[in-house]
Amino acid sequence: MHSKVIIIGSGPAGHTAAIYAARANLSPVMFEGMMAGGVAPGGQLTTTTEVENFPGFPEGITGSELTDKLREQSTRFGTDIITETISRVDLAARPIKVWREDADGDNDAPDTCDALIVATGATAKRLHIAGEDEYWQRGMSACAVCDGAAPIFRNKPLVVIGGGDSACEEATFLTKYASHVYIAVRRDAFRASNIMAKRAANHPKITVLWNTHVAEAKGNGSQLTHVVLQDAKSGEKRDLEVSGLFYAIGHTPNTAFLSGQLDTDETGYLLVKPGSTITKIRGVFAAGDVHDKQYRQAITAAGSGCMAALDAEKYLEELEAEEQEKAAAGKL
């Protein structure tokens, strides 16, 4: 199947790109993925309970509900959404080739497109400690900015796991709402920059737990109530009463299927031309958290998706003009 535009990914970036592309009569096709990156179609947003910082929803909305509304809007304007995962691509080919996960053999026919928007996001790293499956999104999260203001965390003790800039930044952010914030650091020093480390260590509402692992999450069956800490040196365990646990150990951009065909930074995020979504390969665009390691918010991803659709539309106009020029030159 050939399309003018294929969008890989179905979070706020992918759906916003789809809405803009569809309204521009580009008839986009979206591969929303089937448990791609370990999460359901819709991406990381589907793992968030209450979303209170997305404009237009003054009473808040759940991540799953917001995803459903984005999907409904995409289909309303004519986006063809396919619930399959793209497992590999050939970005050097013209047209661009993409293979579905169940059609990955060398002899299987690929889907093709003139413009490709990569909006596959980044998956938050998790430690999968004991109790995590039971209390994920019931006191456990991987985004303090997304979830930290939720009522269940207000005026309650919280713990952040991590030792880098993200951990220090998120712990400091959480002090706006929490009664106290602990940072569990597995070593005896931060990996964070000096300024971020000092800011966290000197904050009156933050206590740093050096050489400490969080071994288990426990609760009352419906909500996290405490965690089990383990001393990294002695192995001694003790309970810590907290109402929230936040992972701040980084994200993994979902780019393995690209097989290194696009440039990335040292942590794997796709590189784009500043102020755009344009990658090093003409006709290929990156939107959302797959290239944004700084903000990682639903609203910024949506804005990036808009940019990608507009960049793709401009590229397709240029491509059409080039083909017309070639056709005219052939007639001379």
The residues annotated as belonging to the active site are: 143, 146-147
Residue 204: exposure state from Cβ atoms within 10 A (0-12, 13-18, ≥19): exposed
Residue-by-residue DSSP string for 59-120: T-EEHHHHHHHHHHHHHHTT-EEE---EEEEESSSSSEEEEETT--STTSPPEEEEEEEE--
Answer for the pair 127, 228: CB distance below 8 angstroms, yes or no.
no
Give the three-class secondary structure for 270.
Answer: strand
CB neighbourhood size of 322 (10 A): 10
Q: Of the candidates 53, 37, 42, 48, which has an alpha carbon nearest to the alpha carbon of residue 18?
A: 42
Round to whole Å and give the CA distance between 10 and 77: 15
CB neighbourhood size of 161 (10 A): 26
Residue type, 98: V
Q: What is the DSSP letter of 157?
A: E
